[in-house]
Amino acid sequence: MREIAASTISEQVAEMCQKANIYLGEDVFDALKKSLKTEESPTGKEVLKQLIENVEIAKNEQIPICQDTGFAVFFVEWGQDAHLTGGTLEEAIHAGVKKGYTEGYLRKSIVTDPLYERKNTGDNTPAVIYTDLVPGDKVKIAFAPKGGGSENMSSVKMLKPSDGEAGVIDFVVNHVKAAGPNPCPPIVVGVGIGGTFEKVAMLAKKALFRPIGQSNPEKRFADLEKKILEKVNDLGVGPQGFGGRTFALAVHIETFPAHIASMPAAVNINCHACRHLEITI
């Protein structure tokens, strides 16, 4: 049994929170630069140039890419031959978030109860944590600071099996069309298909963690990703909704088996600051 100290998890998480908010991943940055070559609208090009400059300023001057440094979302794959010492996993992650957001001058955007007091917790905790137990003794932690503006433009729909591929396409395309400029395009569209009501939403979120440019491993779903991306960009919404060819940088689909009666689908949108970071301990 391999031992991992809770303090190690906290330290690594604190560092991830700061890094993810300041350095945009190369996958997203490359996609932005590529879209500058294909964008037809002059205003759209201007926006993309500002976004590229923004990423460089953030990196050079150590300023968060976006003021919305997000809800801290984690997907943890815990090797079952690893033993955590000195605390629980949740405590360790929360301690890391608190340290990272405080010491990194990141915005604290979480309020206690969602309806009445809405009092800021002051340290951006709690985080949202999903944990899978996996074989081995390694621990993989994937982190994404998820902004509220794009998160608000999300949806789950319980489609019928007879709705088929066309039903999924209609749902996704109509949904992002309605979201329009709100989620800070160019967007990344996370799509979940299958599972249950809550599982499908999690799939859509997980899809946003996949590096841009990496398609679904199954050809039919990879083709569907391409087809939806084309339809989304054909809406003409463009960067920031000012009109143009680059509404989305990518569409990522994640799937899960479904009940014979069900075909749930979910859309979780991410802005162009599609921040995600993964480490293995």
The binding site for another protein (CB under 8 A) comprises 40-44, 46-47, 50-51, 53-55, 57-58, 61-69, 105-109, 118, 120, 147-149, 152, 180-184, 234-238, 240-245, 271-273
Residue 261 CB, nearest approach to another protein (Å): 36
Give whichever of 42 and 164 is closer to another protein, judged by the CB atom.
42
Residue 259 CB, nearest approach to another protein (Å): 35
Give whichever of 47 and 73 is closer to another protein, judged by the CB atom.
47
Residue 241 CB, nearest approach to another protein (Å): 5
Reduce the DSSP state of residue 46 to 3 states and report it: helix
Q: How far is CA 179 from the centre of its chain?
A: 16
Q: CA quadruple 132, 135, 138, 140: dihedral positive or negative?
A: negative
> Token digits for 29?
């940055």
Give whichever of 145 and 195 is closer to another protein, judged by the CB atom.
145
Residue 91 CB, nearest approach to another protein (Å): 25
Query: Distance (Å, rounded) from C-alpha 265 to C-alpha 217?
Result: 19
Residue 56 CB, nearest approach to another protein (Å): 9
Residue 193 CB, nearest approach to another protein (Å): 26
Q: Could you say which DSSP state residue 79 is in?
A: E
Give whichever of 75 and 247 is closer to another protein, judged by the CB atom.
247
Give whichever of 109 and 255 is closer to another protein, judged by the CB atom.
109
Query: Distance (Å, rounded) from C-alpha 172 to C-alpha 191?
Result: 8
E strand or H helix at 193: strand 187-195
Peptide bond into 126 cis (omega under 30): yes
Query: Distance (Å, rounded) from C-alpha 92 to C-alpha 256?
Result: 30
Give whichever of 64 and 96 is closer to another protein, judged by the CB atom.
64
Name which of 60, 252, 259, 257 is nearest 144 in CA terms: 252
